[in-house]
């Protein structure tokens, strides 16, 4: 069987052909790469090498600089200083075309696919060969079928992208890169959207690539993945390389320590588990969307005061929709919600217009999973955002906002939650992700809710803030607030939950108390009803 398919006619031949004499040169070498965005040094003097034909992990928590580094490699940004050496030759990569010509391919976290077109058309985009599409189509179709067979990619090239599952879409992204003769493949947080089974399939595919002599760069923050599949690991922290080791020579604990700079906080203090009265009862919740797709099926859930229930699951399995319904942003198709013993007021409504306000009034608070899209007004000041959703309660008798009271309250919140910079008039869009999240949480906590809905509390948040957010959530729990939390990070679920509920394919596939936490079991439940 032939190795990698011959490159398409319009592409220059891969650099691999001139590998003679550079056979043991690293596939990629970063030499003193530095990059700053304004006052933030995203990459500082980064130097390490990636051996050819290996799977190389780059690990670090949010804001460590790994994505920036890969963006430089792929031509999206130019480094301020330093060199890139690809397959033994120093190279200037100014655009992603340059990177592609060097055989570098990137599978992004957010797929770059056109939903309304077929897989075939998506692959041909940018690579069409001629003004008329028809001649190349047949050839490319065959090439894709060959690649799919060789790497067991299980994708139908004539399928429409939006009919494919998330896992399949990711395989399309990989297919695109292989078709362009990429032999250095960058994968940016690939397993964030995959179930355990799909992750296993992906890793099989990666091992096949490695066997064919390709180099894989895996960007991740999941320690277990590093241990499972990589040969070498580079650890980044605050824009610098803090460790570069062979995977076999290290351990999860060691990597974690390097990642964080200090030993991982083993466990945050919490009061003994003593849940109180029932706060929320979800009965038979169903959600079907306009296209007839069942997003939620028969959801039953109970939440008591003083407990944290965490919903574990890969994103896209209904958790987002569930939180939207529970917060009043969306109406269910059927089902019952009881809050503090009384049914929530959405019966007979045609739409959810204004419903979140009603829920808030009853004592529910919501930290949305996408804070920029849903939780804040980017162009409003920090102070204005501290009353977002609560502005009607901060007025004087003429309906005008009581600015002094708002300012006082804001000052208190910024202080208590250590928001930086402590400037109430700054546009919130200028704050870091972690500080924005602190403002949102501060605001919701200040309403003294009986129930807190929290979606992905630490997405895009730096490690220091993660700990303070976790501490705050535990404090609320100890004070008797019922918290329903949704997270794709199993570590977070384990750290915070009293009870864990696992969702897959719009259903609850399992429930267990935290002391029965078992990665394998939860992984199976997460993959439970999922059809790939």
Binding to another protein in span 130-169, by CB under 8 A: 130-134
370 and 397 Cβ atoms separated by less than 8 Å: no
Distances from the Cα of 185 to the Cαs of 54, 139, 182, in angstroms?
11, 24, 6
Give residue for tokens 């992905």: 456
Residue 119 or residue 522: which is nearer to another protein going by CB?
119
Q: Which of residues 274-293 bind another protein (CB under 8 A)?
A: none
- Token output for 86: 């690809």
Pairwise CA distance, residues 188 & 218, whole Å: 6
Residue 124 binds another protein (CB under 8 A):
yes
Q: What is the DSSP letter of 94?
A: -
Contact status: 222 vs another protein (CB under 8 A)? no
Reference 302, options 346, 337, 344; nearest CA is 337
Residue with tokens 């580094």: 69
x-marked contacts with another protein along 331-360 as a string, rule CB under 8 A? --------------------xxxxxxxx-x
Residue 18 structure tokens: 């001139």
Judged by DSSP in three states, 343 sits in: strand
Site string for another protein, 381-410 (x = CB under 8 A): ---x--xxx-xx-xx--xxxx-x-------
Query: Is 329 one of the binding residues for another protein (CB under 8 A)?
Result: yes
Q: In this complex, which beta carbon is closest to another protein, that of residue 221 or of residue 530?
A: 221
Give the residue with the Cβ less far from another protein, 56 or 459.
459
119, 144 Cβ separation under 8 angstroms: yes
Which of 42, 164, 285, 303 is close enough to bind another protein by CB under 8 A? 42
By CB under 8 A, tell whether 8 contacts another protein. Answer: no
Contact indicator for 120, 141 with CB cutoff of 8 Å: yes
Instruction: Note whether 108 binds another protein by CB under 8 A.
Output: yes
Assess 513 for contact with another protein (CB under 8 A): no
Q: Regarding beta strands 215-220 and 81-86, do their DSSP bridges make them parallel or antiparallel, or are they unpaired? A: unpaired
Q: Choose which of 262, 373, 397, 404 interacts with another protein (CB under 8 A).
A: 373
Structure tokens at 507: 């259903």
Smallest distance from another protein to CB 276, Å: 27
Which x/- pattern, by CB under 8 A, does the window 455-494 give for another protein? Answer: -----x----------------------------------
The token pair at 344 is: 């929530």
Written as six digits, the tokens of 250 are 């290290």
Indicate which single residue of 264, 380, 467, 512 sits in contact with another protein (rule: CB under 8 A).
Answer: 380
- Using CB under 8 A as the binding rule, the residues of this chain from 171 to 190 that contact another protein are none
Among the listed ranges 128-136, 203-211, 294-302, 337-345, the one in contact with another protein (CB under 8 A) is 128-136
Could you say which of 375, 449, 505, 523 contacts another protein (CB under 8 A)? 375
Q: Quote the CA–CA distance of 89 and 230 in Å, as a whole number.
A: 25
């Amino acid at each position: 069987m032939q190795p990698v398919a011959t490159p398409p006619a319009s592409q220059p031949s891969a650099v691999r052909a001139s590998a003679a004499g550079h056979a043991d040169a690293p596939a990629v070498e970063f030499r003193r790469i530095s990059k700053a965005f304004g006052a933030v040094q995203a990459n500082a003097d980064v130097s390490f090498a990636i051996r050819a034909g290996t799977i190389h992990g780059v690990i670090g928590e949010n804001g460590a600089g790994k994505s920036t580094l890969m963006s430089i490699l792929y031509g999206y940004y130019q480094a301020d200083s330093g060199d890139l050496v690809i397959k033994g030759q120093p190279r200037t990569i100014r655009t992603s075309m340059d990177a592609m010509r060097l055989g570098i391919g990137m599978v992004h976290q957010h797929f770059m696919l056109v939903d309304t077109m077929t897989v075939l058309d998506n692959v041909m985009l940018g690579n069409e060969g001629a003004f008329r599409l028809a001649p190349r189509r047949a050839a490319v179709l065959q090439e894709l079928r060959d690649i799919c067979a060789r790497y067991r990619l299980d994708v139908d090239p004539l399928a429409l992208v939006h009919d494919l599952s998330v896992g399949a879409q990711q395989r399309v992204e990989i297919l695109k890169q292989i078709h362009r003769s990429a032999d250095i493949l960058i994968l940016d947080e690939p397993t964030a959207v995959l179930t355990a089974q799909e992750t296993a399939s992906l890793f099989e595919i990666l091992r096949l690539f490695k066997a064919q002599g390709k180099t894989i760069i895996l960007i991740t923050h999941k320690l277990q993945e590093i241990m499972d599949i990589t040969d070498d690991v580079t650890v980044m922290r605050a824009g610098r390389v803090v460790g570069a080791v062979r995977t076999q020579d290290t351990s999860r604990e060691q990597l974690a320590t390097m990642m964080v700079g200090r030993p991982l906080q083993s466990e945050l203090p919490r009061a003994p588990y003593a849940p109180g009265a029932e706060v929320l009862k979800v009965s038979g919740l169903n959600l079907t969307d306009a296209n007839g797709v069942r997003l939620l099926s028969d959801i039953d859930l109970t939440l008591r005061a003083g407990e944290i229930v965490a919903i574990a699951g890969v994103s896209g399995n209904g958790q987002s929709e569930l939180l939207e319904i529970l917060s009043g942003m969306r109406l269910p198709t059927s089902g019952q919600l009881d809050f503090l013993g009384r049914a929530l007021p959405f019966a007979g409504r045609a739409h959810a217009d204004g419903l979140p306000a009603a829920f808030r009034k009853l004592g529910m608070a919501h930290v949305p999973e996408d804070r920029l899209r849903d939780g804040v007004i980017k162009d409003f000041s920090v102070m204005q955002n501290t009353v977002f959703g609560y502005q009607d309660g901060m007025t004087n008798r003429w309906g005008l906002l009581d600015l002094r009271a708002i300012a006082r309250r804001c000052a208190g919140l910024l202080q208590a939650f250590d928001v930086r910079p402590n400037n109430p008039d700054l546009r919130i869009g200028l704050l870091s992700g972690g500080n924005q999240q602190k403002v949102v949480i501060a605001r919701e906590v200040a309403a003294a809710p009986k129930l807190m809905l929290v979606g992905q509390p630490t997405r895009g948040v730096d490690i220091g803030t993660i700990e303070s957010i976790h501490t705050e959530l535990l404090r609320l729990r100890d004070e008797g607030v019922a918290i329903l939390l949704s997270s794709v990070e199993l570590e977070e679920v384990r750290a915070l939950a009293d009870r864990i509920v696992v969702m897959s394919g719009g259903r609850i596939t399992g429930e267990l108390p935290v002391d029965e936490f078992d990665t394998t079991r939860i992984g199976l439940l997460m993959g439970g009803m999922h059809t790939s």
